[in-house]
Amino acid sequence: MQYMFLLYSTPEAEPVYGTPEFQAMMADFAAFSAKAQADGVLRGGEGLQGIETATSIKLRGGKVETMDGPFAETREHLGGYYVLDVPDLDTALRYAAQMPVAAFGTVEVRPLLNYDPADA
């Protein structure tokens, strides 16, 4: 089963870019990625640029509306994601607990939909 891990945090809780704490966090992410790759479960993942770079759209009455920034007003920002292929939710939660952001933010774990009836 493939799971998406959505990584959220508040900017003030994150280590500041360029500090030793930031470098340690990035090393921890690299180590997590290497472990997931070595375990054969990593399917993808990446960090996201800041919310100030986001553009949201919606279609209303046949008209496309765009707005700068994310659609949802939240305290925590989506900073990145991973997709892992693991046997079950318990295994997914064990991996989520190993992600560095779990120490200062939130890791949302959600199964991906499988549209292939042969896999059902």
In this model, does residue 69 exceed pLDDT 80?
A: no
Region 58-79: mean pLDDT is 84
Distance CA 85, CA 69 (A): 31
Q: What is 10-106's CATH number?
A: 3.30.70.1060
Cα 25 off chain centre by:
15
**What are the extents of the domains in the chain?**
10-106
In this model, does residue 92 exceed pLDDT 90?
A: yes
Q: How far is CA 4 from CA 18, 81, 102, in A?
A: 28, 7, 15
In this model, does residue 36 exceed pLDDT 70?
A: yes
Question: What mean pLDDT, rounded, does the chain reach?
Answer: 92
The 10s digit of each residue's pLDDT in 70-81 is 666 677 899 999
Q: Which residue has the higher pLDDT, 92 or 120?
A: 92
